[in-house]
Amino acid sequence: MKKTSALLLVPILLIAMLLASCGDYRKETIGLSMAGTGYWSRQLYEEVKIACMQYPGVRLISTNAYENQDLQERQMDSLIDAHVDAISFAPHDYDGYERVLQRAKDAGIPVILVDRKVKSDDYTAYIGHDDERIGYMMGKYIALQRKGKPTNIVEVSGQPRTSPAMDRAKGFHKAIAQYPNLHIVGTAAQSWQPDSVRAQAIQFLATHPNLHIDCVYGHNDDNAMIMRDVISQTGRYPNVKYYGIDGLPRKDGGLAMVQQGKLEATIISPTRGYLVVEKVMQILDGKPYKRITNLSTSIVDRSNIDVVGTQTILMEEEMKMLSKQNNLIMRFYDKYKSIHVYMVLNAVILLLVIFSFFIIRRMKTLNRELKEKELTVRLNHILQEAVMKGEISMPEGMLFNDAETHIMTKLFEAIARHIDDPRLNAEMIANDLGVTTQQVNEAIMKLTGKPVDEVIAFSRKYAKKKNIKFNFK
């Protein structure tokens, strides 16, 4: 009997050891409050669910408001009443959540805003995108593509009271205002709901039968593609160029549309659910954390779709596999937990957990590779800026970057001048520019999200791959 009992303990101990390798056993409950059911939201949910698997014992409670703010407030109240340990909150509107956020604060429950911002300051942290910058990037990109030609742009906005719609419009209008040849001639729709966007777009074209349209700017890829479909059915607007935001890896998402030539470009608006969970755990563990985390974004067009698209799709496939695996574990456990077949049960669970563990490691590797590819795209932006100024000999057609052009160009020039010097480091760049080493480190980290040594390494790799010849004096 003792021998049998000992044998029964073997798979249990192995599982315990494996779980310990994945992370500490925890007993927290995380609430996830979603605003809607769009593809972006569904992908975020799946990523958060999978990320929670790395913390055995963590329970996830998810709610969805189906684009109803009143319902979302009630769901937030329910999460607070359930005494969850933290809430990841993707709000529907910018206004109106002051009461529930104050309730959560009074209850000592940290609230992490995801993707969208709110008017109230009673939240613990934010992780998402700088949507104003995204809009500005797209405006500058369109300006570059149009090369001074007179251009009429139709905007297809998101829901007016949501922070992405407000900020993407603000940034875009700010960029367009710098170019006298670019004109926003109307807003065809204001919604995130496909049916509503389509109806508004049809009405807009019906009331503007003689309007000349050169470009369409959608606040997300779906809005741009709906407008494309509506326009194509009229037969009245030839040669219109379409631009969107999100760059999701689904078969009809932005990346596929760029690849097929239906979108000229999109801006990746990553979900990064695993980073949301990491932020939650930092807060719950009392570790230092950044209150505002703006995720990096990249413009994707046909010149670089192969660089970014493949990696993103691989990550999605791995995520789907891990999600299926997790569901299998849960179903198996629920079915057999009351049956005294411990050896078989533990052995099967062990195999499933091992499989999940390796998939999680694979996803981490893919994410690291994706970050490297995104940095490559970022450097591509920088190079394009230098090309425009005639400072680098390189083929045209590469991506344009809007951001912090002067300082970024100067930093890259300093790297380029000494790129073949094995001693190149932050101190050498600082001496070249006449600034402090700390200033260089901080500037490059802010602008690229990477430390100096990684930027240098990627600069060298990229220059070698593209056979770029630097002509700086």
> Quick check: is 179 in a domain?
yes
Q: Which domain range does residue 240 map to? A: 131-268
User: Which strands sit side by side in the sheet containing 182-190, from one edge to the other?
Assistant: 182-190, 151-157, 215-218, 241-246, 265-268, 299-301
- How does DSSP classify residue 126? E
**Residue tagged 């975020």 (tokens):** 44
pLDDT score for 390:
47
For helices 342-388 and 452-466, give the axis angle rounded to 10 degrees.
70
User: Are residue 87 and residue 61 in the same domain, yes or no?
Assistant: yes
pLDDT score for 222:
94
User: Are residue 276 and residue 263 in the same domain, yes or no?
Assistant: no
User: Are residue 318 and residue 436 in the same domain, yes or no?
Assistant: yes
> Quick check: is 427 in a domain?
yes
CA 269 – CA 115 distance, rounded (Å): 9
pLDDT score for 170:
96
CA 400 – CA 466 distance, rounded (Å): 17
Q: What is the DSSP string of 15-49?
A: HHHHHHHH------EEEEEES--SHHHHHHHHHHH
User: Are residue 287 and residue 383 in the same domain, yes or no?
Assistant: no
User: Are residue 253 and residue 371 in the same domain, yes or no?
Assistant: no
Query: How crowded is residue 351: how many other Cβ atoms within 10 Å of its Cβ?
Result: 12
First-residue to last-residue Cα distance in the chain: 83
Cα separation values, 15 from 26, 267, 341, 343, Å = 15, 42, 16, 12
How many structural domains compose the chain? 3
User: Are residue 323 and residue 463 in the same domain, yes or no?
Assistant: yes
User: Are residue 428 and residue 401 in the same domain, yes or no?
Assistant: yes
> Quick check: is 300 in a domain?
no
Q: Interior CA angle at 194 toward 243 and 127, to 5°? A: 65
Bridge partners, residue 184, by sequence: 153
**Residue tagged 């875009």 (tokens):** 172
Strands 469-470 and 299-301: unpaired
pLDDT score for 472:
45
Q: Are 60 and 34 in contact (CB under 8 A)?
A: no
User: Are residue 100 and residue 146 in the same domain, yes or no?
Assistant: no
CA 284 – CA 19 distance, rounded (Å): 20
Q: Are 302 and 139 in contact (CB under 8 A)?
A: no
CA 112 – CA 124 distance, rounded (Å): 6
User: Are residue 68 and residue 148 in the same domain, yes or no?
Assistant: no
User: Are residue 264 and residue 277 in the same domain, yes or no?
Assistant: no
Q: Are 458 and 374 in contact (CB under 8 A)?
A: no
Q: What is the DSSP string of 150-202?
A: -EEEEEEE--TTSHHHHHHHHHHHHHHTT-TTEEEEEEEEE-SSHHHHHHHHH
Query: How crowded is residue 114: how many other Cβ atoms within 10 Å of its Cβ?
Result: 27
User: Are residue 338 and residue 470 in the same domain, yes or no?
Assistant: yes
pLDDT score for 241:
97
Query: How far out from the chain centre does Cα 230 lie?
Result: 28
> Quick check: is 303 in a domain?
no
CA 56 – CA 27 distance, rounded (Å): 8
> Quick check: is 279 in a domain?
yes
pLDDT score for 268:
85
User: Are residue 112 and residue 144 in the same domain, yes or no?
Assistant: no
> Quick check: is 139 in a domain?
yes
Instruction: Kindly list the averaged pLDDT for each block of 10 residues, start to end, along the chain of length 473.
Output: 43 43 67 85 83 80 89 94 94 92 96 92 92 93 91 95 93 95 96 94 95 96 96 91 90 88 90 87 93 85 69 52 53 51 57 62 60 51 49 37 45 72 84 73 70 80 62 46
> Quick check: is 304 in a domain?
no
pLDDT score for 57:
78
**Greatest pairwise CA separation for the chain in angstroms:** 89
CATH code where residue 226 lies: 3.40.50.2300
> Quick check: is 414 in a domain?
yes
